[in-house]
Amino acid sequence: MTIYDELKARGLIAQVTDEEEIKEMINNGKATFYIGFDCTADSLTAGHFMALTLMKRLQQAGNRPIALLGGGTTMIGDPSGRTDMRKMLTKEDIDHNAECFKRQMERFIEFGEGKAMMLNNADWLLNLNYVDLLREVGACFSVNNMLRAECYKQRMEKGLSFLEFNYMIMQSYDFYHLFQNYGCNMEFGGDDQWSNMLGGTELIRRKLGKDAYAMTITLLTDSQGKKMGKTAGNAVWLDPNKTSPFEFYQYWRNVGDADVLKCIRMLTFLPLEQIDEMDTWQGEQLNKAKEILAYELTKMVHGEQEAEKAQNTARTLFSGAADHEHMPSTQLDAALVKDGAVGLLAAMVAAGLCGSNREARQLVQQGGVLVDGEKITDPKAVLTTEALTEGVVIKKGKKVYHKITL
């Protein structure tokens, strides 16, 4: 099976500009391709997983990846998929985030001479002269066409800043620059980036009279169509200090029955033949599939030792035994203490178990919370400072355990 056929069989390909050309290039290791990563936080998330594993697969097939850090484009902010303007970050914050991204990417991709490249678009975007850019690049873009792009259309009602309106031009310029200076002939990205990517291929065609190609990756969504990679309103981070290996493992262990095989197919490197055999699995076998998914992804991000540890802890907790040593934990801020106690709802929100007091209240009232093994249904319940000093274990639903201390 060719690499292109494998990507299709895994359900990874959403849209392509020229299927036959792209197939020929990546099957024969002729693609030098890039994927952009805007540095909006100090860690990559589970949402970046698709892009990272795609780069790894294509590199293994002999193609050359370019990981493009968005030190320049992050100064503007991508409006795609947003209902509001992104928070503007300082250059220092963006540079710090870029360094964090570098360290995490090295777990997935081999960088070095003749291997993958890591570049930062700040190196060329921040030095551009505005009038020169307008004359050289701006003349190639139709405002009418830009406003028809999905990423802008959904923002027109609430308002789109001129700053964000320039994002498509900046991303297109990246592809134009990489094509000329690094022989980059393909761009990959999430399906929500399609309009921006077409802007790049069109700019190269108009300025240089040459063909460049684009392919989008299927967005990872659950059976309800919601983007995966978040829990209780918070991102699932690849940084172990932001999302512990156990919490990371548990996120994937708890995916829905309808989603587990799709996730295994799209995200892991298990052979397709092995995955196809799982298609008939039902009931308890699907729990086994979830363990496989969680273990494989945790091993990829955090290493085999952490994956083993997370799996053993999960099995121990699920059997009813306690394993406080490897359980995710949160030390509460002393400012939450009032009259010698912390409200249960406030503690759950602070620990990231719920995204809001309202969500926590509903969960408690529905009987979905145990504190040290005892079901609590009163949303006014409190955790005493004495108990918190020892450590309180909250169980949310059937599978989520969290230790809270003061």
Write down the pLDDT at residue 355. 84
Residue 83: pLDDT band by 50, 70, 90 thresholds?
very low
**Residue 205 in 3-state DSSP?**
helix
The per-residue pLDDT of the chain, averaged, comes to 87
**Cα 10 to chain centroid, rounded:** 18
Q: Is 293 left (phi over 0), alpha (psi -120 to 50) or beta?
A: alpha
Contact (Cβ atoms closer than 8 angstroms) between residue 391 and residue 405: yes
Helices (H), 61-193: 91-105, 122-125, 130-136, 143-148, 150-153, 162-165, 167-182
Contact (Cβ atoms closer than 8 angstroms) between residue 240 and residue 214: no
Sort strands 117-120 and 13-16 into parallel, antiparallel or unpaired.
Answer: unpaired
Mean pLDDT of 152-172: 78
Q: Is 46 exposed, middle or buried (0-12, 13-18, 19+ CB in 10 A)?
A: buried
270, pLDDT greater than 80: yes
Residue 231: pLDDT band by 50, 70, 90 thresholds?
low
The share of the chain scoring above pLDDT 70, in percent, equals 92
Residue 321: pLDDT band by 50, 70, 90 thresholds?
low
Q: What is the DSSP string of 242-304?
A: TS-HHHHHHHHHT--TTTHHHHHHHH--S-HHHHHHHTT--THHHHHHHHHHHHHHHHHHH-H
Question: Distance between CA 54 and CA 215 in Å, rounded?
Answer: 11
Residue 142: pLDDT band by 50, 70, 90 thresholds?
confident
| pTM summary value | 0.76
- Nearest-Å Rg of the Cα atoms of the chain is 23
Q: Which helix (H) or strand (E) holds 35?
A: strand 32-37
Q: Retrieve residue 193's tokens.
A: 């980036």
Q: What is the DSSP string of 186-198?
A: EEEEEGGGHHHHH
For residue 157, the tally of other CB atoms under 10 A from its CB is 8
297, pLDDT greater than 90: yes
Write down the pLDDT at residue 147. 79
Q: Hey, what domains does the chain have and what are their CATH numbers?
A: 3-217 (3.40.50.620), 230-318 (1.10.240.10), 329-405 (3.10.290.10)
Paired with 382 in beta bridges are 343
